[in-house]
């Protein structure tokens, strides 16, 4: 037992033991009363995909994990690079560099990504859409359904998608 220790001595001691100071901004817990049952179901689906459990009658053979991301938009990032010289020192046969587009306007709108990961095939599918709504979501779900014959049952694990929750 140590009665007194300085911050620096504690830092050195913890660093030698492989412990670092980390801070979390948020901690999220579910307020859903059915959380435990849903979590168990998702873990069971993952076990089917990993081949740890054989699917019984009526259980899906194919599992997709689906999520959405957006809006995707052009973001300027500061940085440096090697580039050909411009201005009067450039090669006269070379085309001018393309003009950089300002990122503070969105004249053509933004895009949204719908993506799904097939756990069994280890394959990623994605569609970029101009809008994110229920119709686009169902369109992507129909696409996932079309990847397998109708007699094969599939499951789609939705990670987070607020647009469809009111519809379910």
- State what percent of residues in the chain have pLDDT above 90: 26
Cα 12 to the chain's mean position, in Å?
Answer: 37
Question: What does the pLDDT average to over 15-27?
Answer: 77
pLDDT at residue 138, rounded to an integer: 93
What are the pLDDT digits (tens) for 38-81?
889 989 999 999 889 888 888 999 999 998 887 777 666 777 77
pLDDT at 91 over 80: no
Q: Rg of the Cα trace of the chain?
A: 25
| Domains in the chain: boundaries | 43-68+109-168
Average pLDDT, the chain: 81
What are the pLDDT digits (tens) for 123-137?
999 999 888 888 999
Give the separation between CA 110 and CA 121, rounded to whole angstroms.
31
Which range scores top for mean pLDDT: 60-74, 82-96, 98-112?
60-74
pLDDT at 164 over 50: no
pLDDT at residue 165, rounded to an integer: 46
């Amino acid at each position: 037992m140590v009665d007194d220790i300085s911050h620096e001595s504690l830092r050195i001691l913890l660093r030698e033991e492989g412990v670092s100071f980390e801070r979390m901004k948020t901690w999220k817990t579910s307020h859903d009363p059915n959380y435990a049952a849903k979590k168990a179901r998702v873990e069971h689906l993952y076990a089917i995909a990993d081949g740890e459990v054989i699917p019984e009658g009526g259980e899906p053979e194919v599992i997709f994990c689906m999520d959405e991301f957006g809006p995707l938009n052009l973001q300027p990032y500061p940085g440096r690079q090697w580039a050909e010289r411009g201005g009067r020192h450039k090669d006269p046969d070379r085309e001018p560099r393309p003009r950089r587009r300002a990122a503070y306007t969105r004249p053509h709108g933004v895009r949204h990504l719908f993506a799904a990961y097939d756990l069994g095939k280890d394959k990623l599918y994605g569609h970029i859409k101009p809008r994110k709504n229920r119709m686009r979501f169902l369109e992507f779900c129909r696409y996932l359904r079309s990847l397998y014959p109708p007699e094969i049952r599939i499951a789609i694990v939705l990670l987070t998608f607020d647009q469809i929750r009111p519809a379910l």
